[in-house]
Amino acid sequence: MREALDLLRDRPLVVLTGAGLSTDSGIPDYRGPGSPARMPMTYQEFVSGPDARQRYWARSHLGWGRMRRADPNAGHHALVRVHPDLLITQNVDGLHERAGSPRLVALHGRIADVICLGCRATSPRQALQQRLTELNPGFAERHAAVEVRPDGDVELDETAGFVVPDCRECGGILKPDVVFFGENVPAPRVERCYAAVDALAERGGALLVAGSSLTVMSGFRFVRRAAKAGTPVVIVNRGATRGDELATYTVDAGCSEFLGLLADQQTAPMPSR
């Protein structure tokens, strides 16, 4: 761990975070040690018909009701102090925003936002949550014991009869404003991230990955791009990742612990010579 921290000291940084960063906030990980196998709903399934959307929104109604009460943890707050050139997060929980990270790209969007697939109007998730509660009285109370999964999902099969409202503006289909499997990350987000990663090579910077297995290409591509340019890559994660062979250092440790040490050394005065 010390070698990785020394490499990152006083360098320009781009940080890429994944679900492992939010586990200390009580949000389950996707692929960390002990994580159950899961098949998240794809975009194609979501738009396939009302039954799929009923299943999605019933589960999400319960899961987001809990996720929204999660608070940023020590790792989120440490990254505010690290103050990277750009923070790229694959998480949709909004905890980096709540912690106060200023230079941020939410690669996959935010679960707290809702978009209409018809008129493209966006609205706060809280407003939809209230409508779902009113249309489905007692639903949350009847399923209070269900197990929470990542991204505001839960383990629940009994979704028949759950009422899903349409867009108030046009009657269109409402979807969380996040990138589902089967969708592409909007090009402007990707280009902003590429530009920040490319700049590291010119400035002697490094790419730090925290809490991601890099299984999904949307995050892994930035590691490949940095490594190809000769930029050092440090990966901090519980367990192996897809990018380990490209990394300068891999650290099997908790994100909060490592990021706290990094923040401390970034803000500590340099020793006198």
28 token code pair: 């389950």
Single-letter residue type at 28: P
One-letter amino acid for residue 80 of the chain:
V
**Partners of 178 in beta bridges:** 109
Nearest to 176 by CA among 66, 56, 28: 56
Q: Out of 61, 76, 96, 108, pick the active-site residue.
A: 108
CB count within 10 Å of CB 238 equals: 20
Q: Is 119 annotated as a binding residue?
A: yes
- Rounded Cα distance between 231 and 92, Å, is 27
Is 108 labeled as catalytic in the residue annotation? yes
CA distance 63 to 35: 17
Give Cα 238 to chain centroid, integer Å: 16
* DSSP-derived 3-state class of residue 150: helix
255 is in an annotated binding site: no
Cα(260)–Cα(206) distance, rounded to whole angstroms? 18
Q: Which of 182, 10, 209 is nearest to 108 (CA)?
A: 182
Annotated binding site: 116, 119, 167, 170
- Residues tagged active-site: 108
Annotated binding site for Zn(2+): 116, 119, 167, 170
